Amino acid sequence: MLKSLLGQSAEARAEAFLQTHGLKLLARNWRCRFGEIDLVMQDGPTRVFVEVRLRSRSDFGGAAASVTPAKQKKLLAAARQYLSTLKTLPPCRFDVVALSGDMPPDWIKNAFDDVG
């Protein structure tokens, strides 16, 4: 349960950070059979699918490096499912907000592309 509280706290922190940069929250913890999207946000005309990663240590590349190709594949599948519920397809991107301790969030815009 502690992990889920930490995860919720990290997502709330990332959400607040992104909102200070003008993004608007559309959905939190959007789930489907392919997985979960931590935050779905709007940045102007662009739909932004955000993966929030929290790491207490930077071993193995830290939080950002933990978004592996397998995780990207799951996020892409979930995003496609989300987009299938819309009448028109907006421009989209995949961002990562990496959190580590009390350091400022590391916001990686266009962290990866839809490669398949």
What pLDDT digit, counting tens, does each position of 80-92 carry?
999 999 999 999 9
User: 31-64 pLDDT, tens per residue?
Assistant: 999 999 999 999 999 999 999 998 765 555 555 6
What are the phi and psi torsion angles at 21 (to 5°)? Answer: -100, 15
The ranges assigned to domains in the chain are 2-112
Token pair for residue 38?
Answer: 């931590």
Q: Residue 54 and residue 32: Cα distance in Å, rounded?
A: 22
Token pair for residue 6?
Answer: 């930490």
Task: Assess whether pLDDT exceeds 90 at residue 112.
Answer: no
- Residue 7 CB contacts under 8 Å (≥ 6 apart), including other chains: 52, 54
Q: Could you please state the CATH topology (level 3) that the domain comprising 2-112 is classified under.
A: Trna Endonuclease; Chain: A, domain 1 (3.40.1350)
Compute the mean pLDDT over every residue in the chain, rounded to the nearest whole number.
87
Q: For residue 2, how many C-alpha atoms fall within 13 Å in the half-sphere facing its CB?
A: 0
